[in-house]
């Protein structure tokens, strides 16, 4: 049984581990810190990136040229060869034949290792030159036993399934390549059975047929075969997913206990706005509004995610929720990640609420001092019922009279602390977070597992799917011809570029340079405007308003139009250097068109040669308009960390588990975590004490962040 002393040992910093761990001195400890390995426990959990199966040992006479094989034999001869290029050779023999081992580098190290009659296991690709040979093989000197017997238990570098570890230039400098890691970990793992404490209750391990932790740690580093390596990884992946879902379960339990505001049922303001709308809400919008209304009228604080594809009508649903709060005497705040999106929300909401004689204010960093003073005063005294802004909303000087509802748009762009600061501006306001980035179910369970989720899964009636085509730079004339035809019909178009101005470091076509060319050379007879983030916000809004009013035919822009821009008459979007954009960003840009009843077209212009990943992105765009399918593909291409910044949610970073490959484990982990917290929220039952101690030790700091997110 592990004692307090031995349990503590695993948290010892590597710098202080000399008395406990052979092979790790100050230089190696420093190199290991560079890849996040701070403690002995971290080192145990530094798992192999892949394995090589070298467990089958063949007689030398049976190895085939071109194959990767493992042989065992005794050293018949060794020494430096007399050739133009310095090389060290070892001749191995067994009862069936000879094979030569060759080295052209690391000669000073390797030439002092061998003695005649050493028993050696070697693995590598077999080539033929004046006989069988292996160049730079993996090898291990086993013994000088006369009987020549060996067992796999003695081998760590070959003759078995061997682990290959991630390494860096800094690690390699201190000889912590895969070979170095294997040596260090072999010594460390000898102590695992006696000191590594189990992290899961016995009934869970039995029910899911998981390996015990001690066995999993041993087998992840030195598996008996590929099957046991897979089982070990599954156990450690489950641990990661379980404790992440446990954190979400605890956070959800806390949220559902948190007393909030019991708003009145939808009142006169909601009814008046619905009567004014020039369209009917879709069935999906009505369903979601009912879910939000049920949350807001209860005494428990609302924490709900509103998810919907681009153009699905999330903003009007959020506005109706805000009017519920205003009807009950409260203020609302909508926070957007960019000024242009905040401005777009402000214009849309201001126009809708103007006839209701309700004050709506915009708060961004672009306001003048006098404008800002006026807005802050109106927010403080309650004259402003709806305030829309950027990060400026969370600054200390912003004081609300009576904040009741917080709406956060494109919320994944905000960190935990930013969202928390806005919420803390009120007593215990309800929170509605929105995203137009469709999220695969497996990722939603990791990022939003603590939230109630509403999905608008239908577009407004009359919308037609956007037709997407791929063009190369050489077929640009066809793109311009197509644009002319659409503009002749009275429609409008966007041309989007990745940069504002040309630079020596980038060969991308830039918006400002291309704007001049398009205006003067290609479309001199058209009204062409330029829009990018360096233009002051007021000027940007004038340009966008003029484009909405059809005063311009063509808008040349950067990705400032990625979200929030809604011009139903715009039917064409040309995306230049489409291969340089991410899949999610391409989908968001395409969502700016197809907002009217006319057929819309997205033309992706790419400059070959394209990488394999770029080809997959563009092909996905041309095959589907379904945001959820797009997000699944994007997640597979980029991985969860890059796809969606899970770190900003305060959740643990997944180092072993893969939420795509391990989706079955994810659902099992979620079911068990939520079941345990439901039955034993304090984790005080005997079987759950191991969970409690592990959670407090590993995740307490992260949970303090996560629970405010």
Contacting residues for 171 by C-beta, under 8 A, at least 6 apart: 31, 32, 34, 35, 177, 180
Who has greater pLDDT, 83 or 4?
83
- Higher pLDDT: 192 or 610? It is 610
Residue 625 has pLDDT above 80, yes or no: yes
Separation of alpha carbons 115 and 141, rounded Å: 10
**Residue pair 421/349 in contact by the 8 Å Cβ criterion:** no
Residues of the chain with CATH 3.40.50.300: 268-297+313-435, 467-624
How far apart CA 693 and CA 677 sit, in angstroms, is 15
Cα separation, 548 vs 565, in Å, equals 9
Longest dimension (CA), the chain: 99
Q: Per-residue pLDDT for 201 more than 80?
A: yes
Asked if 533 and 340 count as a contact pair (C-beta separation under 8 A), the reply is yes
Question: What pLDDT, in 10s, does the model give residues 325-356?
Answer: 999 999 999 998 888 788 888 988 998 898 88
pLDDT top residue among 437 and 669: 669
d(CA 90, CA 103): 9
Which residues are CB-neighbours of 425 under 8 A, at least 6 positions away? Answer: 333, 393, 394, 398, 399, 400, 403, 406
DSSP per residue over 550-595, as a string? TS-SEEEE-GGGSSS---TTEEEEEEETGGGS-HHHHHHHHTTS--
Instruction: Please say whether the structural domain 268-297+313-435 has been given the CATH code 3.30.70.1290.
Output: no
3-class secondary-structure state, position 334? strand
What is the rounded distance in angstroms from the CA atom of residue 628 to the CA atom of residue 53? 38
Residue 149: per-residue pLDDT: 46
Paired strand residues for 163: 51
The pLDDT of residue 498 is above 50: yes
Fold of 467-624: Rossmann fold (3.40.50)
Of the spans 51-60, 91-100, 306-315, 495-504, which averages the highest pLDDT? 91-100
Distance, CA of 409 to CA of 428 (rounded, Å): 19
pLDDT of residue 335: 92
Confidence of residue 16 (pLDDT cuts 50, 70, 90): low
Confidence at residue 532, expressed as pLDDT on a 0 to 100 scale? 85
Q: Residue 696: is the preceding peptide bond cis (ω within 30°)?
A: no
State pLDDT tens for residues 500-539. Answer: 666 655 556 688 888 999 999 999 999 999 988 788 877 8
Q: For position 4, what pLDDT does the model report?
A: 47
Burial of 36: CB neighbours in 10 Å, binned 0-12, 13-18, 19+: exposed
CB 595 within 8 A of CB 463: yes
Nearest 10 degrees: Cα torsion 483, 485, 491, 497 = 0
Average pLDDT along the chain: 84
Termini Cα distance of the chain = 38
For position 709, what pLDDT does the model report? Answer: 39
**In the prediction, which pLDDT does 538 show?**
78
Q: Encode pLDDT of 394-436 as tens digits.
A: 888 899 999 999 999 876 566 656 767 787 888 789 999 888 7
**Given a cut of 50, is residue 114 above it in pLDDT?**
yes
Reported as type and span, the H/E element at residue 53 is strand 50-53
Specify the pLDDT at position 183: 84
* Residue 214 token pair: 């001690």
Which of 87-91, 208-212, 220-224, 623-627 is predicted least confidently? Answer: 623-627
pTM listed for this prediction = 0.66
Band (pLDDT 50/70/90 cuts) for residue 182 is confident
Q: 386-398 burial string, b = 16+ CB within 10 Å, else e?
A: bbbbbbbbbeeeb
CB 426 within 8 A of CB 260: no
The three-point CA angle 288-289-295 to 5° equals 95
Where does residue 153 rank: exposed (0-12), middle (13-18), buried (19+ CB within 10 A)? exposed
Q: Which residue has the higher pLDDT, 99 or 449?
A: 99
pLDDT bucket at 260, cuts 50 / 70 / 90: confident
Residues of the chain with CATH 2.40.50.140: 56-159
User: Would you say residue 379 has pLDDT above 50?
Assistant: yes
Q: Name the percent of the chain lying above pLDDT 70.
A: 86
SS (HEC) of 427-483:
CCCEEEEEECCCCCHHHHHHHCCCCEEEEECCCCCCCCCCEEEEEEHHHHHHHHHHH
- Overall average pLDDT of the 428-457 stretch: 76
CATH superfamily of 56-159: Nucleic acid-binding proteins (2.40.50.140)
Band of pLDDT at residue 646, cut at 50, 70 and 90: very low
Residue-wise pLDDT tens digits, 130-178: 899 999 998 878 765 444 444 444 677 777 888 888 888 898 888 888 8
Phi, psi of 13 (to 5 degrees): -65, 145
Better-predicted residue by pLDDT, 16 or 379: 379
| pLDDT(479) > 90 | yes
């Amino acid at each position: 049984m592990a004692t307090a002393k031995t349990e503590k040992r695993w948290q010892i910093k590597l710098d202080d581990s000399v008395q406990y761990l052979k092979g790790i001195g100050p230089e190696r400890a420093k190199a290991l810190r560079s890849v996040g390995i701070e403690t002995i426990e971290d080192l145990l959990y530094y798992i192999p990136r892949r394995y090589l199966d070298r467990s089958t040992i063949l007689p030398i006479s049976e190895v085939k040229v071109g194959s990767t094989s493992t042989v065992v034999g005794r050293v018949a001869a060794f020494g430096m060869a007399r050739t133009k290029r310095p090389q060290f050779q070892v001749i191995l023999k067994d009862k069936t034949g000879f094979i030569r081992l060759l080295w052209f580098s690391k000669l000073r190290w390797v030439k002092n290792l061998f003695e005649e009659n050493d028993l050696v296991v070697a693995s590598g690709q077999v080539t033929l030159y004046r006989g069988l040979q292996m160049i730079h093989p993996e090898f291990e000197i086993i013994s000088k036993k006369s009987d020549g017997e060996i067992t796999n238990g003695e081998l760590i570098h070959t003759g078995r399934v061997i682990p290959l570890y991630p390494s860096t230039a800094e690690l390699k400098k201190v000889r912590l390549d895969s070979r170095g890691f294997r040596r260090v970990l072999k010594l460390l793992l000898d102590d695992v059975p006696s000191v590594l404490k189990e992290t899961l209750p016995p009934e869970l391990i039995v029910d899911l047929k998981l390996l015990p932790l001690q066995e999993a740690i041993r087998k992840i580093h030195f598996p008996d075969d590929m099957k046991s390596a897979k089982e070990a990884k599954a156990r450690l992946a489950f641990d990661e997913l379980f404790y992440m879902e446990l954190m979400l379960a605890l956070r959800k339990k806390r949220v559902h206990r948190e007393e909030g505001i019991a708003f009145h049922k939808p009142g006169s303001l909601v009814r008046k706005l619905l009567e004014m709308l020039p369209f009917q809400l879709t069935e999906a919008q009505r369903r979601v509004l009912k879910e939000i209304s049920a949350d807001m009228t209860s005494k428990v604080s609302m924490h709900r995610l509103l998810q919907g594809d681009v153009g699905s009508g999330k903003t009007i649903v959020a506005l109706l929720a805000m009017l519920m709060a205003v009807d009950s005497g409260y203020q609302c705040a909508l926070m957007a990640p960019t000024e242009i999106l905040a401005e777009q929300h402000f214009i849309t909401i201001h126009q809708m609420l103007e006839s209701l004689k309700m004050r709506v204010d915009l708060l961004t960093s672009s306001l003048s001092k006098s404008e800002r003073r006026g807005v802050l005063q109106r927010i403080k005294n309650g004259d402003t019922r709806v305030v829309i802004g950027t990060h400026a909303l969370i600054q200390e000087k912003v004081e609300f009279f009576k904040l009741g509802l917080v709406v956060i748009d494109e919320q994944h762009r905000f960190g935990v602390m930013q969202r928390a600061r806005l919420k803390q501006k009120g007593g215990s306001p309800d929170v509605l977070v929105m995203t137009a980035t469709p999220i695969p179910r497996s990722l939603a369970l990791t990022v939003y597992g603590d939230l109630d989720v509403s999905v608008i899964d239908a577009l407004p009636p009359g919308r037609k799917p956007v037709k997407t085509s791929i063009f190369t730079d050489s077929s640009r004339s066809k793109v311009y011809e197509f644009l002319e035809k659409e503009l002749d019909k009275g429609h409008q178009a966007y041309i989007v570029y990745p940069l504002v101005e040309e630079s020596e470091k980038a060969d991308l076509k830039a918006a400002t340079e291309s704007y001049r060319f398009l205006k003067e050379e290609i479309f001199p007879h058209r009204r062409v405007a330029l829009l990018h983030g360096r233009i002051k916000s007021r000027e940007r809004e004038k340009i966008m308003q003029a484009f909405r009013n059809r005063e311009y035919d063509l808008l040349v822009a950067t990705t400032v139009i990625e979200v929030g821009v809604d011009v139903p008459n715009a039917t064409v979007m040309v995306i230049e250097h489409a291969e340089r954009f991410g899949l999610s960003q391409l989908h968001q840009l395409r969502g700016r068109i197809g907002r009217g009843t006319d057929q819309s077209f997205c033309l992706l212009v790419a400059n070959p040669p394209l990488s394999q990943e770029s080809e997959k992105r563009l092909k996905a765009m041309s095959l589907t308009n379904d945001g959820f399918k797009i997000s699944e593909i994007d997640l597979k291409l980029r991985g969860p960390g890059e796809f969606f910044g899970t770190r900003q949610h305060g959740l643990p970073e997944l180092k072993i588990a893969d939420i795509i490959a391990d989706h079955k484990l994810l659902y099992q982990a979620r079911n068990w975590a939520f079941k345990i917290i439901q039955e034993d929220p304090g984790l005080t039952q005997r079987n759950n004490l191991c969970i409690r101690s592990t959670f407090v030790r590993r995740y307490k700091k992260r949970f303090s962040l996560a629970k405010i997110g």
